[in-house]
Each structure stands twice: as structure tokens, then as C-alpha cells.
């Protein structure tokens, strides 16, 4: 384990290595406490690099032997965690034997144990915890891997590529040999040795090759892998149809493991997944779980081309594969939802997906961009790369790709992708390479200024103002952009911002747009290209004062500032032809009310606001899934960022008052929704059904929050009778977020029913950690969390449990976490330090919960600062947590 705080690595310092690796022959003698790893690699001199030694990084390894061309090397040094070996000639055979202890490896990076099986996680720098290696993504080698293990304990032995040999060994052991035909960086290496079973399917690829697909799980979970397998098949088809990209292996494997730091990992031909994103059956998984399984399976599968065949030169380029792959999985999910919804519902289904993506961006990425961890999608420096698998690199990165798609058009984008693969297949490249190729494939489309999206951190503001001139029927729209300073980046240049615009007439219909100088009016939505600090756009032929609808479809990852009174927001909630903006109008209105209520404890929820919600709720022409999105209040994390200073207690009180007012005043409407939209019959995962369930669950939430007796009775009945997890959990959540006396018994019943199911218990932990206080007598969430910490089903060693209980409390329950007495903050210190000793990556994620502390009230800042300082002073703190807390303190 790293014990010293790490130095800062700079993007500008990238240099190719003097020696790289052509082939790697790995042999594992797997043993829980002492696994012997023999690594024979053919190292070759890199003619494009400066002269220097062979560099092999290693971490937490016991070195047994090291030879170069069969002899002890003459000169070996250790520098910066790497061995440096002087070598002559153009190629040498290096053999290094190391011993590792998988059982002692609680970091879940490198080779570790989970439920008696062996698993690996190498991205970003876990391979060096398995063997000494030039562990960088620009070293692409061909791997042969032999695994040897006890046959009874580990009947299944898997690695990347194709199985070329297997057999029995003395003493109840066996072996398997795998060969990966494609050169790959070390971060894509994987092995699994465990007791698993597979669901298999054979499918034919677009070129007519038959391939074997396998999803490996523990035997008891075989009844919940069908959906993951279907998702994999759909992903394969989609990549063939959308990008002409085919699976390049004869066999593609997915393995599910219960102990995993993140969602999943795209190892070549052997994806390893957190069970949370594989296992789904109606009784244990919600609609959201089904959706997540589909999109994560797709995401990892799509990496096979965007990430694996073309990879990153260095870790600063992470968004090259992540932003692009998130964009691809978003497009895939939108297509899947649209297809299932049918021609009538397709547009709305796509919009609902887009709204989901925007919600995530606003809740997670905007706060990151406004805090001490703000970084460009391609960072310039880091201390610990694992801290940079961020919402900025992933989600904002995907928005940047989406803007390219908008600017170049579908065909231009596809041409760019084709050219990208034709130039760079089998190589490790940079974001500049990607953007240049996009330009080249589009007649030299100028993307120089666009590159600033890769260079500048911070969320740009676009301030808009419009003036209608009755005399000449013109509408003048002025757009001004600015990006606030971020740590280390004080001056910002103007960006290329595509702003999709519509003008709504008084009748609620869009006006056909005609810019000054154009012969005739065209489409109702136009994409304006904002490239200067300030730009003026003049529309003509506008016969009556319009209501502007800007940034349609959320055409750029910016904050739009537009003066709109309540009446305009209500008008757009009812009429905006762009569903994203209709949703956004409701969110803006709710935000305005929430912030006003937070500022004044005596204020009441305005009637006009409730009426606007009622109109949306009762608009039967609107897809229930859309209504569920539009009628849900904005996320607390997002609202806190919009509040200055952020006061979580005041905001919580405002949200409670809003939930109660909307629940009570609209009680009859909500009850009717439940009545009308309830589904009978067997569960199926389908967007239409999911939308209805989502709206019914939201109705129950409002009714229960308001303490409406009918609503509570309905929630109790639905909890008791539910035939699937979406309904059961929806009803339980409504009861828990209320003063219902049935609350405790329902939680207990849920627990007892699912006591043997780790993933369902995670929901149970999260629900309690996220509970608000509805009555004066209610228990503080912290007291409950403390009790649950010693629940036999809880474990600090399992990341899913930590994210469910502590993650939810720290990150999704600000009203309770930031209790005025500071108890939440003191608890945070305890937990971050306890976690850091086991698993720095998980600890660092929890540590991030307080990074935006300077946005809070002075009293909260005074409570938080000493706690951050306590963590930073803790002996043996990991580089992971030190970077987060150090940056939070401005150290
Ligand atoms: N590439 C992995 C993430 C690895 C995180 C390492 N700390 C999953 C993904 O983005 O697909
Ligand atoms: Zn990814």
C-alpha cells in the first residue's frame, strides 16, 4: 500500500519509454496467500524514444528473482516505484518472478479474493501489483497466460482471448492456457479463477462468424443473467449497425463479482462486472437496475473498440475512451428505449433518456466543476489517477463528444469515427489525434477553438436576453458567455457553444425561424454557434412577441442564465415543444420556489406553482415517464450548488414543505394517477411500463410525504401485494419518507424477505441512510447509520455496502449529514480513515463528500475545516485521500 503522499504528475512531462514490450508470457500458481507469478517478457528498444534503461513498475510485490537473457542483470536500480535495468542490444528476454498475497489485498486493485475466488482489476495501475512491468497504456503487448489452481476451489480458469490448452495436474490441481491475439495495454489484462457457472449463447456477427458469449456468475445467480445476456447481444448488434464495428474475438466473456470498486471493467474479451450491473430479475431488481445493467453492459462492450483497439497514450487522455464510450452508451440506450416505445412514443422515450443524462451531469459534474477538484476533461495534472475517473472526464466528456456530433452531423461524425479507426487501430493515441481526425474527415472543419473544451475547466455560463421589436417584427437575441475561474486556471477563453434555439408563439406553437439575411423561414429549432464573448442573432418575420426556448435538448454543458418570470416558466412547462426544455422549465420553477422557501422559513408554496404542476400532472397526452421526471423536485446536491451560501438544513426544510404542499393540494390528482396507471399482470422490463411505475411511485411519495391517509394506505397495500421490486421498493420508499407508523414494520418485512440477497440489502441500507426526518420525534439518520454499521449484513470491505450506507448518507442526504452539531462531520472522519486503511479508492470517493465545504454557511465551514485537517494529518494516509482532502483545504 502506498503510504506517502504522491507527487504531482504533469501531462506535459509525457515521454515515450526507452524500452517497450512485445510479448508477455505469464504463469500464475494461484494460492490465496502466496500466488507465484512468473513473467517472461520480450522487451524491445523503442527507436522513437531517448536512450535509457528498461523501466518496470512494481507495488506490494515480493520479488523472488529477476533475470535478463537468463542471467542476473548487471545494473538494477530502484527509482520512483520502478526498477531500472540497463540493457544493450535491441531486444532482451526479461524474466521476473514475484509473490503476491491476494487474501491480504483489501484494495481490490491487482489480484484479490472475493468469496473464495481470484479476480483482478488492473485499470489504471493495478497490473504493477501483480508483476513488475512497464505499466503504462502506451505499452501494447501480446499476452499468453497460464493459470494453475486447485480444481475443487477454482474449477473455472479464465483470462483474455482464446483458450488454447487445459488439463489436470497432480494434487487436485488443474491448469488452463489462454492466448490473446490482440496487442493490449496492461490495464486490460484480467484473470478469474473461481467456482462459477455460465449462461451461454452463440450468435453470428455481421460478417457471418459464429461467436460464443458467456456470462459467468455464482450458481445461485443463474436465474438472473438473462437480461445481461440480452443486453450484450443488443449491444453487439447496435455497434454493427451504427458504427460498422464487429466483435473481433471468437469468445466474449462477462464475469460478475460481488466485491468490486466500481461498476465494471472492459478487460479484453473478459469483462469483469460488479454483480450490481449484471444480476436482474423482477423480484430483486427495479426498472432502474434493468436500465443500468443494459447501459453498463453496453458501455463495457463498446470499449472493445473505443478503448481497447484504440487506446489512450497516457492517463491524461482518459476521456478519449471514456467520454466517447459514454456518448456511445447514451445513444445506444436512447435507441433501445425508442425502439421499445414504438413510433408513437419514440421521441418522448429519447427525451426521457436525455433528461436522465442531464440530471446526472447537473447533480455530479456541475458541483465538481465548481469546486477544488475542477479539471478539464483532459486534466493537466494529477496526484492519483484513480481520483480522475470523474463525472467531468466521463459525463462532461460525453457532452463534448455530443457537441462534436451536433456540429458535424450524424454522417460527418460517422465519417470521423471510420477514419479514426482506419488511422489508429492497434495504437495508443491522444485526444488531439481524435479531434484532428474528426476535422480531416469533414473537409478540414475548423475545430481549433473547439479544442478549448479539452483544455478549460469550469461550467460556462451563457447569459441570454431577447428583445422583440413590434415595429419591424424582429427578435434580437443576445448571447454572452463566460467561464468562472477554477483552481490554477484564472483566465478563460471563449468556447464554441452550440445553442439550440426555438421561439414559442403566444398560441404555444413554435415559430418557423428565419435569421436576418435568409430568404425564407426554415425549421423551428436552430442551432446557433456561439464562439465570441458576446454575439447577437437577429430573427425576422416574428409577428408577435415570442417566448424563447434556449439550449434545447441541452445542446451544451453550460448554465443558461435567462430572466424569466413565473408566468413564463409555467407557460413553457405547458407548451415548450422541446421536452428537455419543458422538463427544465419545471426544474427552474421548482428551484426558484425551493430557494425562496429556504430563505424564508415562514414562506409558503405559491399557488401558481402548484397549479403549474397540476397542469403537467394531468396532461394525459404526456408520457408518464416524462411526467415522472418533470414532477420530481430537482436533486438536493444540485440545489445546494445553486444556493449561496449553501445551507442544507434550510434547503431540507424547504423541500419538505414543497413535498407536503404538492402532496396535499394535489392529493386527488395523485390518487387518480395511481388508480389509472397501476399495472396488472406479470412484470416486464419495458419503457412504457417503467414510466407508469415511476409515476405511480412518485405519486405515492408525494401522498405519503403529505401524510395523506388514503395515500399511506395505498402504499401499505402496494408494499404488501407487489409482485416486483420496482413496486415493492417504491412503496417502501414512500412509507420510509413519511411519518407512517407502518414504516418500521415494512422495513423489517423487506429485510426478512430479502435477508439472503446482498444486492437487495444494499437498497435497504441506502433507503435508511437517505431518510429525511418527517416528524419531530423521528430518529436522526446518523443514529440509524451507526446501528446499521454493526448489522451482520454490513461490511466495510465490500464497496457496494459502503456506497449504499455511507455513500448515501454522505452524498445523498445533506440535510442530515450536515447536522448543525457537527456529528455527521466527525463521523465522516472516522469512516474515511477506517476505509483508507483497507481501500484507498473507496475512501477517496467518500472523502469527496466534503470537498465543496467552502460553499457552505460560515457555521458549517467552521465545523468542517478541522475535520478535513484531521484527515490530512492522519498517519499513513493514502495518496488517494491526501489528494482530495489536500485540494479541498487548498493545500
Ligand atoms: N474503465 C473502467 C473504470 C476503471 C476505474 C479505475 N479506477 C470502467 C469503465 O469506465 O468502463
Ligand atoms: Zn468506460
Over residues 495-526, the pLDDT tens digits come to: 999 999 999 999 999 999 999 999 999 999 99
Are the C-beta atoms of 571 and 548 separated by less than 8 Å? no
The CATH 2.60.40.1840 portion of the chain extends over 461-563
Neighbours of ion ligand 2 (CB under 5 A): 322, 325
Residues of the chain with CATH 2.60.40.1730: 1-103+123-180
- In the prediction, which pLDDT does 776 show? 86
Ramachandran sector of residue 876 (left: φ over 0; alpha: ψ -120 to 50; beta: rest): left
Predicted local distance difference test score (pLDDT) of residue 777 = 82
pTM of the model: 0.98
Relative to the alpha carbon of 271, which ligand is closest? 1
d(CA 305, CA 310): 6
Question: Is residue 474 exposed (0-12), middle (13-18) or buried (19+ Cβ within 10 Å)?
Answer: middle
Q: Which fold has domain 461-563?
A: Immunoglobulin-like (2.60.40)
CATH class of the domain at 570-890: mainly alpha
Residues framing ligand 1 (Cβ under 6 A): 123-124, 262, 264-266, 299-300, 303, 322, 386, 389
The predicted model gives 404-431 an average pLDDT of 98
Residue 3 pLDDT more than 80?
A: no
In three-state secondary structure terms, 107 is: coil
Report pLDDT digits (tens) over 12-31.
999 999 999 999 999 999 99
Relative to beta strand 381-382, strand 461-469 is unpaired
Residue whose CA is at the smallest distance from ligand 1 atom 3: 265
Residue nearest to atom 7 of ligand 1 (CA): 386
Interatomic CA distance for residues 886 and 878, integer angstroms: 11
Q: Say what percent of the chain tops pLDDT 70.
A: 99
The mean pLDDT value for 435-458 works out to 98
Rounded to whole angstroms, the Cα distance separating 720 from 693 reads: 16
Q: What is the pLDDT of residue 701?
A: 98
In ligand 1, the atom with minimum distance to the C-alpha of 385 is 7
Which residues make Cβ contacts (< 8 Å) with residue 741, sequence separation at least 6? none
Cell of residue 679, nine digits:
399495472
CA of 264 to the centre of ligand 1 (A): 7
Cell of 231: 443486453
| Contact between 607 and 335 (Cβ < 8 Å) | no
* pLDDT tens figures, 582-635: 999 999 999 999 999 999 999 999 999 999 999 999 999 999 999 999 999 999
Q: Tell me the catalytic residues.
A: 300
Measure 389 CA to ligand 2 centroid, in angstroms: 9
How far is the C-alpha of 652 from the C-alpha of 595, rounded, in Å? 10
Residue 4 is predicted with a pLDDT of 53
Mean of pLDDT over the chain: 97
Confidence grade of residue 862 (pLDDT, cut at 50, 70, 90)? very high
Give the whole-number percent of the chain exceeding pLDDT 90.
Answer: 99
* CA 695 from centre of chain: 24
Split at pLDDT 50, 70, 90, the class of 887 is: very high
Structure-block grid coordinates of residue 151: 480444481
Least confident range from 269-283, 767-781, 794-808: namely 767-781
Among 254, 261, 262, 394, the mutation site with the greatest number of ligand 1 atoms within 8 A of its Cβ is 262
* Full DSSP string of 850-888: GTTGGGB-HHHHHHHHHHHHHHHTSTT--HHHHHHHHHH
Round to whole Å and give the CA distance between 329 and 469.
Answer: 44
C-alpha of residue 425 to centroid of ligand 2, in Å:
18
For residue 124, give the ligand nearest its CA. 1
Dihedral sign computed on CA atoms, order 387, 393, 394, 396:
positive
Mean pLDDT of 212-236: 98
Residue ranges matching CATH 1.10.390.10 in the chain: 312-379+389-453
Residue 613: which of 578, 638, 637, 585 has the closest Cα? 585
φ, ψ at 576 (rounded to 5°): -55, 125
pLDDT digits 0-9 by tens, 148-193: 999 999 999 999 999 999 999 999 999 999 999 999 999 999 999 9
CATH number of 312-379+389-453, picked from 1.20.120.1200, 3.40.50.720, 1.10.390.10, 3.60.15.10: 1.10.390.10
All three cell numbers of 61 = 510485490
Identify the residue whose cell numbers are 460556462.
460
Please, what's the b/e burial string for 693-705 (b: 16 or more CB within 10 A of its CB; e: otherwise)? bbbbbbbbbbbbb
| Cα 304 to ligand 1 centre (Å) | 13
Angle at 200 between CA 197 and CA 202, to 5 degrees: 160
Residue 891: per-residue pLDDT:
64
Q: Which CATH number fits domain 1-103+123-180: 2.60.40.1730, 3.40.50.11540, 2.30.30.60, 3.90.550.10?
A: 2.60.40.1730
Q: Please answer whether residues 279 and 256 qualify as being in contact, where contact means their C-beta atoms are separated by less than 8 angstroms.
A: yes
Which grid coordinates are listed for 778? 423521528
Q: What is the pLDDT of residue 325?
A: 99
Dihedral over Cα of 105, 108, 110, 116: its sign: positive
Return the C-alpha cell found at 243. 458504427
Looking only at the bridges linking them, the beta strands covering 110-114 and 428-429 are: unpaired
User: 841, 124 in Cβ contact below 8 A?
Assistant: no
The torsion angle over the Cα atoms of residues 562, 565, 571 and 575, rounded to 10 degrees, is: 0
Amino acid at each position: 500500500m502506498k503510504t506517502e503522499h504522491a507527487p504531482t504528475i504533469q501531462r506535459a512531462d509525457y515521454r515515450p519509454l526507452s524500452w517497450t514490450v512485445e510479448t508477455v508470457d505469464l504463469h500464475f500458481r494461484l494460492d490465496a496467500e502466496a500466488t507465484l507469478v512468473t513473467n517472461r517478457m520480450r522487451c524491445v528498444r523503442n527507436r522513437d524514444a531517448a536512450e535509457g534503461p528498461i523501466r518496470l513498475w512494481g507495488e506490494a510485490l515480493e520479488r523472488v528473482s529477476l533475470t535478463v537473457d537468463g542471467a542476473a542483470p548487471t545494473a538494477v536500480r530502484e527509482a520512483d516505484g520502478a526498477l531500472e535495468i540497463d540493457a544493450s542490444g535491441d531486444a532482451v528476454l526479461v524474466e521476473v518472478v514475484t509473490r503476491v498475497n491476494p487474501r491480504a489485498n483489501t484494495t481490490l486493485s491487482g489480484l484479490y479474493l472475493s468469496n473464495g475466488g481470484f479476480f483482478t482489476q488492473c485499470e489504471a495501475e493495478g497490473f504493477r501489483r501483480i508483476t513488475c512491468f512497464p505499466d503504462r497504456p502506451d505499452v501494447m503487448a501480446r499476452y499468453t497466460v497460464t493459470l494453475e489452481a486447485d480444481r475443487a476451489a477454482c474449477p473455472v480458469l479464465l483470462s483474455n482471448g482464446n483458450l488454447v490448452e487445459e488439463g489436470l495436474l497432480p494434487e487436485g490441481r488443474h491448469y488452463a492456457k489462454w492466448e490473446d491475439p490482440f496487442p493490449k495495454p496492461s490495464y486490460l489484462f484480467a484473470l478469474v479463477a473461481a467456482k462459477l457457472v455460465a449462461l451461454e449463447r452463440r450468435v453470428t456477427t455481421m460478417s457471418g462468424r459464429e461467436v460464443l458469449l458467456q456470462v459467468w456468475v455464482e450458481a445461485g445467480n443463474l436465474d438472473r443473467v438473462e437480461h445481461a445476456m440480452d443486453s450484450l447481444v443488443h449491444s453487439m448488434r447496435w455497434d454493427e449497425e451504427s458504427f460498422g464495428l464487429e466483435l473481433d474475438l471468437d469468445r466474449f466473456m462477462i464475469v460478475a463479482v460481488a466485491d468490486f470498486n466500481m461498476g465494471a471493467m472492459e478487460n479484453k474479451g473478459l469483462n469483469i462486472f460488479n454483480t450490481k450491473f449484471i444480476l436482474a430479475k423482477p423480484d430483486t431488481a427495479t426498472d432502474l437496475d434493468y436500465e443500468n445493467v443494459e447501459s453498463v453492459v453496453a458501455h463495457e462492450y463498446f470499449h472493445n473498440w473505443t478503448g481497447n483497439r484504440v487506446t489512450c497514450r497516457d492517463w491524461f487522455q482518459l476521456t478519449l475512451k471514456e467520454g466517447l464510450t459514454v456518448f456511445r452508451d447514451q445513444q445506444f440506450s436512447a435507441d433501445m428505449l425508442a425502439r421499445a416505445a414504438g413510433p408513437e412514443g419514440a421521441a418522448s422515450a429519447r427525451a426521457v433518456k436525455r433528461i436522465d443524462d442531464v440530471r446526472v451531469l447537473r447533480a455530479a459534474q456541475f458541483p465538481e466543476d465548481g469546486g477544488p477538484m475542477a479539471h478539464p476533461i483532459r486534466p493537466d495534472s494529477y496526484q492519483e489517477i484513480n481520483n480522475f475517473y470523474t463525472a467531468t472526464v466521463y459525463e462532461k466528456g460525453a457532452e463534448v463528444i455530443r457537441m462534436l456530433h451536433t456540429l458535424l452531423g450524424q454522417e460527418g461524425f460517422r465519417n470521423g469515427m471510420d477514419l479514426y479507426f482506419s488511422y489508429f487501430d492497434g495504437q495508443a493515441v491522444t485526444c488531439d489525434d481524435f479531434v484532428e481526425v474528426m476535422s480531416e474527415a469533414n473537409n478540414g472543419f475548423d475545430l481549433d477553438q473547439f479544442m478549448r473544451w479539452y483544455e478549460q475547466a469550469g461550467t460556462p455560463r451563457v447569459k441570454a436576453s431577447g428583445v422583440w421589436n413590434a415595429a419591424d417584427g424582429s427578435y434580437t437575441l443576445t448571447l454572452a458567455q463566460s467561464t468562472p475561474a477554477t483552481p490554477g486556471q484564472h483566465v478563460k477563453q471563449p468556447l464554441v457553444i452550440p445553442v439550440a434555439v426555438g421561439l414559442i408563439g403566444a398560441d404555444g406553437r413554435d415559430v418557423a425561424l428565419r435569421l436576418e439575411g435568409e430568404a425564407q423561414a426554415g425549421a423551428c429549432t436552430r442551432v446557433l454557434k456561439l464562439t465570441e464573448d458576446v454575439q447577437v442573432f437577429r430573427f425576422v418575420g416574428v409577428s408577435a412577441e415570442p417566448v424563447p426556448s434556449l439550449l434545447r435538448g441541452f445542446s451544451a454543458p453550460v448554465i443558461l442564465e435567462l430572466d424569466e418570470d413565473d408566468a413564463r416558466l409555467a407557460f413553457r412547462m405547458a407548451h415548450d415543444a422541446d421536452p428537455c426544455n419543458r422538463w427544465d422549465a419545471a426544474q427552474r420553477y421548482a428551484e426558484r420556489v425551493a430557494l425562496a422557501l429556504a430563505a424564508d422559513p415562514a414562506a409558503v408554496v405559491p399557488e401558481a406553482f402548484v397549479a403549474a404542476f397540476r397542469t403537467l400532472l394531468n396532461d394525459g397526452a404526456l408520457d408518464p415517464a416524462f411526467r415522472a421526471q418533470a414532477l420530481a423536485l430537482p436533486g438536493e446536491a444540485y440545489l445546494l450548488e445553486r444556493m449561496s451560501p449553501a445551507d442544507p438544513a434550510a434547503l431540507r426544510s424547504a423541500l419538505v414543505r414543497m413535498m407536503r404542499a404538492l402532496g396535499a393540494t394535489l392529493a386527488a390528482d395523485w390518487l387518480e394517477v395511481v388508480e389509472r396507471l397501476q399495472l396488472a399482470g406479470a412484470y416486464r422490463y419495458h419503457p412504457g411500463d417503467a414510466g407508469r411505475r415511476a409515476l405511480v411511485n412518485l405519486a405515492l411519495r408525494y401522498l405519503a410525504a403529505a401524510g395523506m391517509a388514503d395515500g399511506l394506505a395505498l402504499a401499505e397495500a402496494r408494499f404488501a401485494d407487489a409482485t416486483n421490486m420496482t413496486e415493492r421498493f417504491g412503496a417502501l420508499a414512500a412509507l420510509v419518507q413519511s411519518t407512517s407508523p407502518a414504516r418500521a414494520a415494512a422495513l423489517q418485512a423487506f429485510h426478512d424477505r430479502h435477508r439472503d440477497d446482498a444486492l437487495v440489502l444494499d437498497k435497504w441500507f441506502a433507503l435508511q441512510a437517505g431518510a429525511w426526518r418527517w416528524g419531530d420525534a423521528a430518529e436522526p439518520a446518523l443514529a440509524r447509520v451507526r446501528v446499521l454499521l454493526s448489522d451482520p449484513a454490513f461490511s466495510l470491505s465490500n464497496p457496494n455496502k459502503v456506497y449504499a450506507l455511507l455513500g448515501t448518507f454522505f452524498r445523498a442526504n445533506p440535510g442530515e449529514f450536515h447536522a448543525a452539531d457537527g456529528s455527521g462531520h466527525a463521523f465522516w472522519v472516522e469512516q474515511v480513515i477506517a476505509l483508507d486503511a483497507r481501500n484507498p479508492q473507496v475512501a477517496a470517493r467518500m472523502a469527496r463528500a466534503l470537498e465543496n465545504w467552502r460553499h457552505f454557511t460560515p457555521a458549517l465551514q467552521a465545523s468542517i475545516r478541522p475535520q478535513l485537517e484531521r484527515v490530512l494529518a492522519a498517519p499513513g494516509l493514502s495518496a488517494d485521500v491526501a489528494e482530495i482532502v489536500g485540494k479541498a483545504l487548498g493545500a
